[in-house]
Amino acid sequence: MQDRLEKIVSLCKRRGFIFPSSEIYGGLAAVYDYGPLGVELKRNVQQRWWQAMVYEHDNIVGLDAAILMHPTVWKASGHVDAFNDPLIDDRQSKRRYRADQLIEDYIEKLRAKGETERAEALHRRLIEALNAADMPKALYQIILDERIPSPDSGAFDWTEVRQFNLMFVTHVGPVVSEETKVYLRPETAQGIFVNFHNVKDAARLQIPFGIAQIGKAFRNEIVARQFIFRMREFEQMEMQYFVKPGTQMEAFEAWKEKRLQWHIENGIRPEHLRFHVHEKLAHYADAAVDIQYLFPMGWQEVEGIHSRTDYDLRRHQEFSGKRMEYFDPQTQEHYIPYVVETSVGLDRTILMLLCEAYDEEEVEGETRVVLRLHPRLAPITVAVLPLVRKDGMPERAQAILRDLQPFVHTFYDEKGAIGRRYRRMDEVGTPFCVTIDSQTLEDGTVTVRDRDTMLQERIAEAQLLNYLQDRLRHWKLVRAL
């Protein structure tokens, strides 16, 4: 399965989806750049999220807050004190691990070996440790008691478990001092909370309403791994939904379902998605669930849905001295709203989409690699291909290309054998290839080749755009057997 991930990483590099950052200098760990096709995929995912969250809800509006914020924001939010990972070092290999993940992986191994009872008992102990007042110590004790060895070196030579803050620090202005210290935001949510009144008043919103935002977040992750799954610079798509206290569970349940549905509509098979209830609630939450996807490396979180209570607004009220209350015109009450958050990683969604879409099949004795991406997410929607580079076919193809360009993302290719050109398009997930051949010159029809079935249909040139738009609207994946 890991092999599948390697193939995806290599395809991403080769075809211009994702490159390691600063590659000519050896790269920068857990930082990546999106290439020409990657950036299209990313924009399409953003667009579909924005469409579903903002345009299809008349009580949700957008925001684009700055990455740098007043440092007190992160004191109020709890990130300065509590945004920590428990870490442990293997003295022999000098490798560093997250203590809770080390124990989780160990539990998985016990389960795989059929030692279910022991695994369950340890699992219960892990949950207790995660909620303990001295969490690092409790985790360390488990590692000692179970004699959990280092996964890489096999040694049992651990340091103690220590906490490490994940925020990146920089300074504003020319002086580097405690007073000029600011953070790169570790989540986009706080930009929404501090703008609560600005947005509500400007957009004349009444509760319940939501504020949505897409933007960069930064975390100095210790164990950065698995390609774009865990990055140090990444992008989040977050929505904070403000509700009347007491109605948060209703909103929480509704958003859980809506967000799961969004992933399914993007072409993720329902059996590859599941809800995972949090074992340890964050200090601010009264309910939390993850949407997990079955990645090649196992079930992992893609999105979090959190009922954050009034924690954030209340803390900002305390730290800023500004009232964060809402006045309800119907009931004439003042209250601090409760918040339900949906927070999905854009990059992690992209990795999920690539893992879901990647397929290999035997066609005429050769392996065909195909990305079965939803056509609205695919980086290129239509490739326009003259069968040969003569007899006026390229000119005719160019004319068709110009007609399509204002409506769909197109790509033009006239080089090489047609079969090879189709394969190149399959590999990057292009759902439709339009081919201009000698019959086009006679009767004005073109062929449209379908990526998934490889079947071709003849369509009149004048009908082409309508035909494509119709197919985009009613897409359903036909998988190869």
**Residues tagged in the binding site annotation for substrate:** 98, 187, 234-238, 341-345
Q: Which one of the spans 110-118, 229-237, 412-420, 442-450 is the region binding ligand ATP (CB under 6 A)?
A: 229-237
Does 86 interact with ligand ATP (rule: CB under 6 A)?
Answer: no
* Tokens of residue 245, six digits: 């206290």
With b meaning 16 or more CB within 10 Å and e meaning fewer, what string describes 245-277? Answer: eeebeebbeebbeebbebbeebbbeeebbeeee
Give 304 or 375: the residue with its C-beta nearer to ligand ATP.
304
Counting Cα atoms < 13 Å in the Cβ hemisphere of 67 gives 17
* Whole-number Å distance between alpha carbons of 11 and 242: 42
Rg (CA), the chain: 26
Identify the residue among 90, 310, 312, 347 touching ligand ATP (CB under 6 A): 347
Binding-site string for ligand ATP from residue 160 to residue 199, where x marks contact by CB under 6 A and - marks none: ---------------------------x------------
Q: Annotate 114-152 with DSSP letters as a single string.
A: T-HHHHHHHHHHHHHHHTSTTHHHHHHHHHHHTTPPPTT
Least separation in angstroms between residue 108's CB and ligand ATP is 16
Determine how many CB atoms are found less than 10 A away from the CB of residue 378: 25
Question: In this complex, which beta carbon is closest to ligand ATP, that of residue 215 or of residue 379?
Answer: 215
Q: How many CA atoms lie within 13 A of 3 on its CB side?
A: 3
User: Could you report how far apart the first and last alpha carbons of the chain are, in Å?
Assistant: 19
Q: Are 444 and 28 in contact (CB under 8 A)?
A: no
Q: Out of 12, 143, 231, 260, name the contact with ligand ATP by CB under 6 A.
A: 231
Instruction: Supply the minimum distance, in Å, between the C-beta of residue 110 and ligand ATP.
Output: 22
Q: How far is the CB of 281 from ligand ATP (least distance, A)?
A: 12
- At 360, give phi and psi (nearest 5°): -130, 140
Query: Please, which of residues 281-320 interact with ligand ATP by CB under 6 A?
Result: 301-304
- The distance of closest approach from Cβ of residue 413 to ligand ATP in the complex, given in angstroms and rounded to an integer, is 33
Instruction: Report if residue 343 touches ligand ATP, rule: CB under 6 A.
Output: yes
Q: In the complex with ligand ATP, which residue's Cβ is closer, 48 or 348?
A: 348
Indicate the residue among 289 and 434 with the shorter CB distance to ligand ATP: 289
230 binds ligand ATP (CB under 6 A): yes
Dump the DSSP string for 26-54.
T--TT-EEE-HHHHHHHHHHHHHHHIIII
Instruction: List interacting residues with ligand ATP (CB under 6 A).
Output: 187, 219, 221, 230-231, 234, 236, 301-304, 343-345, 347-348
